[in-house]
Structure formats: structure tokens, C-alpha cells
Chains A and B, each alone.
Chain A
């Protein structure tokens, strides 16, 4: 089975495996700008069109920060530096830890191991074992410990090795993280960041393929954001750390090896705003995290068929940015939601309700929501493919919506 990722004009998506240590990477930048790269699940990649490289295919087995490359390619006119999404997260984290000594990280294997997705690699050597704390395998308790530390002045970042493991911490996240500021009458704030990779990966099995955003969204008092590109990953990480509210940052297992160019200057994004990915006129497509790439792939096909979709990456899963969404709905009058979350009670369901409540008069057609099937993600590749929304389905949905 091969799942196609389409290279965006500004960032290249590839990641045929969720293993942390290797990723195929294109080797030149000019290729990045104009080509489509298909990545097969068996980790081979082949440039499809107009690639500047006709080099023999090779896998870069240890994709480290590509600052060295940027001097090679001499795109000196283009500012910024290139890196992979997990490096962007790490950069954001490192900058915040340097800026504020109260920022600390705790989680399983974040310290000496460097994080199972390398987001905290090197930080323990730099900041010490207490600031990058390797915890025993006790999610509920170390999440609660992070909350207690936050109440008493620190700013911990709690990493769930996989978001699904945080189900064990639900007690602490719901009762203490979300509610404690309120039940204490505003006396204690909980500036924690809870982050980790979630989403459907590559045949990881049901329990490692969970989408916890639907379970956490009802908890009052927390904010949820989902990153999808190196640019917004770093910006959201920094914003989440600086926020006084508890923030849950959802990363995706398959997006860690996305490469992109990000600014050298410091930047912090807004936690509550959505991101306009592609302006358009005919239909508003709302999406987040990995589905953004399926949508953009479908958008390519749609554009060839003469449609003009507007694609918005909602980024903020709780609360929704109703301004950006509303503006778009008022322009296009048609909404398609594409998400990886479950059908029942997912983010799409909430978003559908929110849009219907606020913008019903602006809709020319009922909102269509494409979500994953309400199925525990199967191991078999074919079945797994069918549980998740694929670009072809998106194209069909838009065509039907625009009739």
C-alpha cells in the first residue's frame, strides 16, 4: 500500500514511517519548490515531475537539522533556515527554555533518550536532568506532578510518548489541569503544555492510532491546538509555553519529518487563530493536522477540474476561530470539514454545530463532514487506509457540494 503525500509549494511532505531516526528527504531545494514527490510506504521516493535532480534515489537515514544544506543550496535571497518539524518543535522548546528558567520538560524518555521522536534530543545534556526529567512510566502521576509544579511556579511541558497514553492521565487532565483554576477561585494557574504525537500512523495498531482531541475537547478550562507544519509547530509550541492557560498541543506521528523553511527571527503564533492555507471562492474546506495534506492533494486535483477551494487549517481545536471560519463561510457559502478524528463526537461534529449555530444563514448547502470511521484503527494496511479520509473522497465530496 502506498499513501501519497503531495509536496506543497512551500513544504515537502514525506514520511513513510513514524520511526524517529530516518526519513527520506529530497536533497535539493529547487526541487522542493516545484515538484511533487511521492513517497511510498516502503520508504522509497521518486520525484514525479520536473525534478532538478536525476540523482539516484537515496535515503537519508539520519535527517538532522539541515542548516548545513541551506548554505549549499545558496538560496541566499530566501531568508530563514530549513528544518524538519520535530526540529522546529525542539527549536521552539529550546528557545523557551533558554528564555525562562522555570520552563521544564517531563515525560518518558525525554532526557537521555532524547525523546522517542527526538523532539527533546540534546536538551538534557544542555539543561540538566532535572529540567528535562525522565519519568517512570506513570502517566497519571507525572501529569499530576506537572500540574502541582505549575501551581507552585514552574512551567512544565508534559510529554506523552504517544497521545494515547494520556488516556491514563485523563483524571489529572480533566480534574486538575482543566478545572483547578476555577475551583480555586482563580488563585492557582496551571501553565502546563501537554504535548505528544497522536493520530493514525503507519499500521501502528488501534491503541497507538488514537485521536484524543475528541475526548479532551469537552474539558472546560483547557485549550487545544494542532500543529501541521514546521512553521506553525514552532510558533504554537512557543505560544503554548508562554500561555498562562493549560494547552494541549497535538502533534501527528506522520508529520515529524516534514521539512520546511522557517524564519530565523523569533516568532510566536496565536493559539486561537486559524491559518489560511489557500484562499478560494467556491467552497471552504476546514481541516487540521495531517488531513491538511490530504486536502491539499485533493485541492490540486480540484483546481485541475476547475474548482477553487478555500482551505483553512483551523489549528485551534478549542476554541474555534470563528472569525476566520465565518469570513470564509460568508464568502463561499459551502463548508466541507475534513478531519482524522472519529465521526462521533469528534472535532468535526463540534465544528459543524458551531458553524450551524453561528452562520446558518450564510450556508447554501448542509455542512459536509468527512471524518474517520468509528472503527478501532486496524493493523492491516488496506483496512487502515479505508478508516481514514483519502483525497479521492475529498474530491468527490467537493464535487457533490458544489452542484
Chain B
């Protein structure tokens, strides 16, 4: 597959001379030499994909067909219906407004620690998660608020969790980086990068096990693993790509390539920055999509998720996206080129979707404004709820250390520690 793809890809992978590490970072280095890639018109991308597909015979061919359909100018062939459009819009607005509210609350001292905001990347979360069933699994990273919201976790619960209240989705014990929801099958929320990918692989394995060993008829849950560009240099990523492809697990690996770890540019950290290429190395399709366009992401997501559901195995999807804020609220974000930031601000996924909805007469200004207002009220309610919620009591301290509290052992008096009344008060000495 490499030959034709390399020929096409060549102009992009050749680093401009400013990329060498001994040159100052801010001179002419635009922050990403992927800008050219991002301006590619769909037909060019399709060309590349079909040429690569010809030599690998992987189902990438199907994706290139889908990509060809993405000619947005064709009026008779809209990508979404009105209802779908409004759902997408509302989800992205919820994500955006929620994160803005988080920033406000953080600076008002309502939440502490490391808070990583998702502004600018909403298209990836909405594009993928809105295709899932409730039983499908999502595994995220520390930048997980919006994944939680898209999956269905109520904004109230997420906000309370951020405030550290007992009504949070994890009873205040997880925090910003550890959002979990059994009800909505959100398997976390992980602080170390790459840590969630094996967990996601395990959930996919579970799904396959239920189908093939336990012979449950409807067991076709798909797992989505979200992670960033920095993670793609981590061993766990590669180990899981191998296992998922080996056993054809129903999982989609979604790379949210926003070009920056904290202050480390993806291009400075990666020998071959084209992450999608790493999929075919393991025998799975590697797709590259514009992550600032929710409709494009959606099309790719549909294909990848349905592929997994049919039992054909994993897919690696690289979404090129960008975060408008710093890595976390503690990051002064001084390293990134303002011109780069301005460039992506101009490609805001929400603005793009709005334009699409207006241009194709799918929604009116008033309808969208109504949605904006609804979300604002929802968030005000969420903040109020979180404010008024109680803090976790002392008795909660030891409650969830073990699923079976006999694990605290037998005390000197012969009784299990968990039977000690002081234990529930959280004052027992373990």
C-alpha cells in the first residue's frame, strides 16, 4: 500500500526546513505542517484512499466511497435530516457551553485540580458518540467531560462531580479526570494517557466473549476508545492495536489529534506523524478525517462502528482537530502560535454545522437560538444543583475501596473490620 500512498503523502511528510529542532519554534513554523492536509478537498482524499485500498484490499474502499458522497454541494443528497442536525447541534452546544461554564467555575474556586477542557473538539465526540447505542461502551481520557455528556450522563451529575459533591456521577471520588457511568456505559476517565485503551480492549473482548462463548444473541456492543496524539507514541496503544486486530475485537480506536500534548508538538514527538498509517501496519483500516467537521466525522464513524458491530474487527480513525484552550486550565498556553489558533478558531465545528444547517434550510436562526437558550438554562440548573448538593460525609471515605468490604480483613477482635461501627463513620483505622 505504501507506494502510491507515499507518493501522495510525500509533500506533507517532508518537514519544512523550519521544523528542525535547532530552529526557534516561533519563526516561520506554523505549528503544523498538516495545514495543507486539512485543506484537502474530499476528492483528493478519496483518491489517496482508493489508491491505498487497491493495494491493501482492506475495507478502506468502502470509506472512500463514503468520502466521495461527501460532496456537500449536492442538494439532493443531504448528509443529515433536520432532526439529526438539531441533535448534533444541541450536543455540540452542550459540550461547548459546559466547558465554558467549567472554566468560569474553576476561576471562581468551585473546582480544583487538573481540569482539561474540550473546546474545539466537539465534532469528534458528537460525531462518534451520537451513533452509539446506550449499551455500547466509551472509554476516554482526562479530557472526558464532553464524552460523558455526549454519552448521556446528565450535566447535573458531571457538574457535581467536578464540584466534588456527593451527588456527582462518581460520588465526588473521581473528579474531572475520572468520569464513570455504569448506567450509560462510560468506562472512564483515566488520568494516565494510554491507560484506558487496554480497558477499552477488554470491554470489546467482553462483547465478543458474550457473543461467542455465552452465545447471547444480541451481544454486539461496540467500544470506542478516545485518546490523543501523544498517546500514539505509547506502548499500550500499539499493544492494543495488535490484540484488537488479532482477535477482531469490536472496537474503534479514535485518535483526537489536536497536534499538541501539553507543550510538545506532535511533530516534535513522532517520527511518522501520520497516525492513520499505523492501523494498516496491524491489519486494520486506518482512516484519516477532518475532525473539525462533524458531518465528515459522522460518516467515518458510521462506517467504523457498523464494521465493528458486524464482527469485522477494529478500525483506527485519526481525527485532526484542535483544542481552543490550553491543555488544562493551569496551562498558560503560550507556546502555540497565535496564527495557528486563529486559523482553527475560524474552523469552529459549531459554526460550520450552523452554516450547513442554514445553507441547506434544515434549521432557522430562531430554532438554534432556542436550543442555545435551553442549554444555558440546563447548565444554570446544573450549577445550582451542584452548588446546593452536599459534600461527601466522612462515612463515605472507606465505602468504595472494596466491592466486598471483607477485603479490609479481620480485626484483632475476630470480627471483620467492616462490621466495626466506627468503620461506617470513616474513623476506623485501617
With A144-B199, A149-B206, A272-B409 as known contacts, state yes or no: A138 contacts B401, CB within 8 Å: no
- Contact residue range for chain B? 35 or more
CA distance A318 to B410 in the complex (A): 11
CA distance A91 to B55 in the complex (A): 50
Tell me which of B26-34, B122-130, B177-185, B303-311 binds A.
B177-185
- Most chain B C-beta atoms within 10 Å of own C-beta, residue among A131, A143, A245, A273: A245
Tell me which of B164-172, B260-268, B345-353 binds A.
B164-172
Judging by beta carbons under 8 Å apart, are B199 and A176 in contact? yes
- Chain A residues whose C-beta falls within 8 Å of the C-beta of B210 in the assembled complex: 153
- Chain B residues whose C-beta falls within 8 Å of the C-beta of A180 in the assembled complex: 180, 188
Judging by beta carbons under 8 Å apart, are B202 and A152 in contact? yes
Q: A115 contacts the other chain (Cβ, under 8 Å)?
A: no
Judging by beta carbons under 8 Å apart, are B203 and A175 in contact? no
Judging by beta carbons under 8 Å apart, are B403 and A189 in contact? yes
- Chain B residues whose C-beta falls within 8 Å of the C-beta of A172 in the assembled complex: 195, 198
| A338-362 residues at the B interface, CB under 8 angstroms | 358-359
- Chain B residues whose C-beta falls within 8 Å of the C-beta of A145 in the assembled complex: 198-199, 201-202, 205, 240, 243
Measured CB to CB, the closest approach of chain B to A312, in angstroms, equals 13
Q: A128 contacts the other chain (Cβ, under 8 Å)?
A: yes
Judging by beta carbons under 8 Å apart, are B180 and A183 in contact? yes
Judging by beta carbons under 8 Å apart, are A323 and B199 in contact? no
Q: B236 contacts the other chain (Cβ, under 8 Å)?
A: yes
CA distance A141 to B234 in the complex (A): 11
Judging by beta carbons under 8 Å apart, are A154 and B206 in contact? yes
Chain A contributes a number of interface residues (CB within 8 A of B) equal to 60
Judging by beta carbons under 8 Å apart, are A320 and B409 in contact? yes
CA distance A271 to B407 in the complex (A): 8
CA distance A138 to B173 in the complex (A): 30
What 1/0 flags go to A119-140 for Cβ under 8 Å of B?
0000000001011000110101
Q: A241 contacts the other chain (Cβ, under 8 Å)?
A: no
With A145-B198, A183-B178, A186-B171 as known contacts, state yes or no: A358 contacts B412, CB within 8 Å: yes
Q: A279 contacts the other chain (Cβ, under 8 Å)?
A: no
CA distance A54 to B192 in the complex (A): 63
| B199-224 residues at the A interface, CB under 8 angstroms | 199-210, 212-214
With A321-B410, A322-B411 as known contacts, state yes or no: A141 contacts B243, CB within 8 Å: yes
With A138-B242, A148-B202, A221-B401 as known contacts, state yes or no: A185 contacts B168, CB within 8 Å: yes
Of the candidates A147, A316, A319, A322, which one forms a contact with B199 in the assembled complex, judged by CB atoms under 8 Å apart?
A: A147
Q: A236 contacts the other chain (Cβ, under 8 Å)?
A: no
- Chain A residues whose C-beta falls within 8 Å of the C-beta of B189 in the assembled complex: 183-184
Judging by beta carbons under 8 Å apart, are A359 and B198 in contact? no
Judging by beta carbons under 8 Å apart, are B187 and A138 in contact? no
CA distance A187 to B188 in the complex (A): 11
- Chain A residues whose C-beta falls within 8 Å of the C-beta of B200 in the assembled complex: 148
Judging by beta carbons under 8 Å apart, are A181 and B214 in contact? no
What 1/0 flags go to A166-206 for Cβ under 8 Å of B?
00000110011000111111111111000000000000000
Judging by beta carbons under 8 Å apart, are B206 and A152 in contact? yes
- Chain A residues whose C-beta falls within 8 Å of the C-beta of B170 in the assembled complex: 183-185, 187
- Chain B residues whose C-beta falls within 8 Å of the C-beta of A393 in the assembled complex: none
Judging by beta carbons under 8 Å apart, are A148 and B206 in contact? yes
Nearest A-chain residue to B241, judged by Cβ: A141
Q: B74 contacts the other chain (Cβ, under 8 Å)?
A: no
- Chain A residues whose C-beta falls within 8 Å of the C-beta of B408 in the assembled complex: 319
Measured CB to CB, the closest approach of chain B to A394, in angstroms, equals 26
Measured CB to CB, the closest approach of chain B to A17, in angstroms, equals 32
- Most chain B C-beta atoms within 10 Å of own C-beta, residue among A142, A152, A190, A221: A152
Nearest A-chain residue to B179, judged by Cβ: A184
Of the candidates B169, B190, B191, B208, which one forms a contact with A185 in the assembled complex, judged by CB atoms under 8 Å apart?
A: B169
Extra contacts besides A151-B199, A245-B402 (7): CB < 8 Å: A144-B195, A145-B243, A147-B198, A182-B400, A185-B172, A185-B174, A221-B401
Instruction: Identify the B interface with A (CB < 8 A).
Output: 137, 139, 168-175, 178, 180-182, 187-192, 195, 197-210, 212-214, 235-236, 239-240, 242-243, 246, 399-404, 406-414, 416-417
13 A-B residue pairs with Cβ-Cβ distance under 8 Å, sorted by A, are: A140-B235, A144-B195, A145-B199, A145-B243, A149-B205, A149-B209, A182-B173, A185-B173, A245-B402, A272-B416, A319-B410, A320-B409, A322-B409
- 7 nearest A-B residue pairs (beta carbon): A148-B202, A144-B198, A319-B409, A185-B171, A184-B180, A185-B170, A148-B199
